[in-house]
Amino acid sequence: MAFDRSQALGRCLVRIDEARERLEEIRDGEAKLQAKLLLEAVMDLHGLALARALTLAQSGAAGDALTQRLAEDDYVAAVLLLHGLHPEEPETRLNKKLSSMRPHWGVRGFRVELVAIEHGAAKAKVHWGDVAKAERSALLREIENVLTDAAPDLDVIALEVADAEPAYTHSPASSIMAGP
């Protein structure tokens, strides 16, 4: 049986979110405080270690290449993002992802362009080619998922449809959809 890295990472991130939510539900104030202090201490240690690892990687002869390889690994990138240490800005990550998806989406009859990123929000425009209207909702969800995976640290990802179809706005934290 093959090991699916993307599913394992997704399961791990869901477990973290669920544990964080359960932590908020603890009624015993002292236990809740101690659990939060422990979590903060572990996060601080991880953050310091990762920051140091990146510094060490960048100081070597192949530092930039190694840093790039680390940032491109799903697991390492997730932890770097968690600690605010990812070496690439959300705009760079989104542009790279859109560039890698362009051939795949192009043969399916549409393209996506990044319009703007500001104040923790990204706006992308979807240009439908010969995509049937019945398929567009599912494709918008796919695009939204791809962009959220590339930049989960953004608060909002808004999709604007070039041909006056309803626009979708996605907040990775709460999955808000706007439009008819």
**Digitized pLDDT (tens) for each residue of the chain, 180 residues in all:** 444 555 777 788 788 888 888 888 889 989 989 888 888 888 888 888 788 877 877 777 677 788 888 888 877 888 888 888 888 999 999 999 999 999 999 999 999 999 999 999 999 999 998 888 899 999 999 999 999 989 988 999 999 998 644 444 555 543 333 333
CATH match of 90-170 with 3.40.50.720: no
- Domain definitions of the chain by residue range: 5-82, 90-170
pLDDT tens for each residue of 34-44 = 888 888 888 88
Compute the distance between CA of residue 9 and CA of residue 28 in angstroms, rounded to an integer.
Answer: 31
Predicted local confidence at residue 6, as pLDDT: 59
pLDDT tens for each residue of 116-134 = 999 999 999 999 988 888 9
> Which one, of 153, 85, 88, 170, lies nearest residue 119 by Cα?
153
Structure tokens at 74: 């799903």
Predicted local confidence at residue 180, as pLDDT: 35
Predicted local confidence at residue 66, as pLDDT: 82
Predicted local confidence at residue 4, as pLDDT: 57
| Contact call for residues 167 and 178 (beta carbons, < 8 A) | yes
What is the pTM (predicted TM-score) of this model?
Answer: 0.63
